[in-house]
């Protein structure tokens, strides 16, 4: 099938949930694009961001690895994290390579394109912005917290998040991808620190409101301490609406099967619990609820099943 006739699917997100989703989608006969957050300021990403004045590469690195068809050893090298070494400890090889390629090309996005070519990436990877940006949160008690890595550590309820500098200029190719899409997927992941940093950029929010594409949100299976403690699925959706307006989503995908008691116990130690999907409230928002068993039971930690999700999304095209 000619590339121009393939359905265009755009995934928006970051964190650990997005790569899981992309690993299944990359084998479908689609024109796939990933729009990825660059707001991370912790660990290796934060150090490179500060020292080299580039957008945070960590979430991009994980998406490159997910979409790559390179040899397993090469990908293992790309994802290798140094455990010792003066200046190297804590750094990921992939982050260093992305920083090096940005330095060689003089442009972060161009560096991503070159790394994608070298590692035989399927699809397009777009950083939400081609410059460094910072995430801030206003808590319900009125305090302002600056820094993606610090926000969940406050253990306060979040009222809203916003980014700086103002205005953040989104990558034009990211906006174009949304405008041309047939299906847009808001991926699972940390709601306030991985998902919202993308869509609160005004041009991105506007593109999502005006798109002719179907827009679906894959809701998290578990709550996250410091971000969504006590949240239902409808609360997740309301947070999206509070930041970019209602009418953006047509559907939400929720997990509808009980979670193993042992897994629940392990997550309870991190003050996380299953996300309840309050179906009547979601439907009252004008959103279709797609209920499916979407977790991978072969994994000790809760992860979405890449193949199940891929088949489900393909059925929506």
- What pLDDT score does 84 carry? 86
158-179: per-residue pLDDT in tens?
Answer: 999 999 998 899 999 999 999 9
Average pLDDT of the segment spanning 233-258: 96
In angstroms, the CA 229 to CA 226 distance is 7
Q: Closest by alpha carbon to 40, among 65, 24, 63?
A: 63
Confidence of residue 1 (pLDDT cuts 50, 70, 90): very low
DSSP per residue, 197-264: HHHTSHHHHHHHHH--SEEEEE--SB--TTTTTT--HHHHHHHHHHHH-SS--SEEEEE-SPPPHHHH
pLDDT confidence bin for 4, thresholds 50/70/90: low
Could you tell me the residue ranges of all domains in the chain?
3-37+128-314, 42-122
**Which helix (H) or strand (E) covers residue 163, if one does?**
strand 158-164
Please answer whether residues 7 and 316 qualify as being in contact, where contact means their C-beta atoms are separated by less than 8 angstroms: no
- Say if residue 314 is exposed, middle or buried (CB neighbours under 10 Å; 0-12, 13-18, 19+): middle
pTM summary value: 0.95
Band (215; pLDDT cuts 50, 70, 90): very high
Query: Is the model more confident about 85 or about 125?
Result: 125
Q: CA 208 to CA 203: how far, in whole Å?
A: 9
pLDDT mean over 254-270 = 93
Does domain 3-37+128-314 match CATH 3.40.50.620?
no
């Amino acid at each position: 099938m000619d590339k121009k006739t393939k359905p265009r699917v755009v995934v928006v997100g970051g964190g650990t949930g997005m790569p899981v989703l992309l690993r299944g989608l990359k084998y479908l006969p689609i024109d796939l694009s990933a729009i990825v957050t660059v707001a991370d300021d912790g660990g290796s990403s934060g150090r490179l961001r500060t020292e080299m004045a580039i957008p945070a590469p960590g979430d991009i690195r994980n998406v490159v690895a997910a979409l790559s068809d390179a040899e397993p050893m090469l990908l293992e090298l790309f994802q290798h994290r140094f455990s010792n070494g003066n200046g190297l400890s804590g750094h990921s090889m992939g982050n260093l390579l992305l920083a090096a390629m940005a330095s060689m090309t003089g442009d972060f996005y161009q560096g991503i394109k070159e790394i994608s070519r070298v590692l035989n990436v399927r699809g397009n990877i777009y950083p939400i912005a081609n410059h460094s940006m910072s995430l801030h949160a206003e808590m319900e008690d009125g305090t302002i917290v600056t820094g993606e890595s610090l926000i969940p550590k406050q253990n306060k309820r979040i009222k809203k998040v916003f980014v700086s500098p103002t205005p953040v200029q989104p990558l034009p190719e990211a906006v174009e991808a949304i405008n041309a899409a047939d299906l847009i997927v808001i991926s699972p992941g940390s709601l306030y620190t991985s998902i919202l940093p993308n869509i609160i950029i005004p041009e991105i929010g506007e593109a999502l409101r005006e798109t002719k594409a179907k827009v679906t949100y894959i809701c998290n299976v578990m709550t996250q301490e410091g971000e969504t403690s006590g949240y239902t699925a409808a609360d997740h959706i309301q947070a999206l609406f509070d930041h970019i307006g209602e009418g953006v989503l047509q559907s939400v995908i929720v997990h509808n099967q009980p979670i193993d008691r042992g897994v629940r116990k392990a997550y309870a130690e991190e003050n996380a619990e299953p996300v309840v999907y309050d179906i009547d409230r979601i439907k009252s928002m004008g959103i279709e609820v797609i209920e499916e068993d979407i977790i991978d039971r072969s994994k000790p930690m809760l992860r979405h099943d890449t193949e199940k999700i891929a088949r489900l999304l393909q059925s929506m095209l």
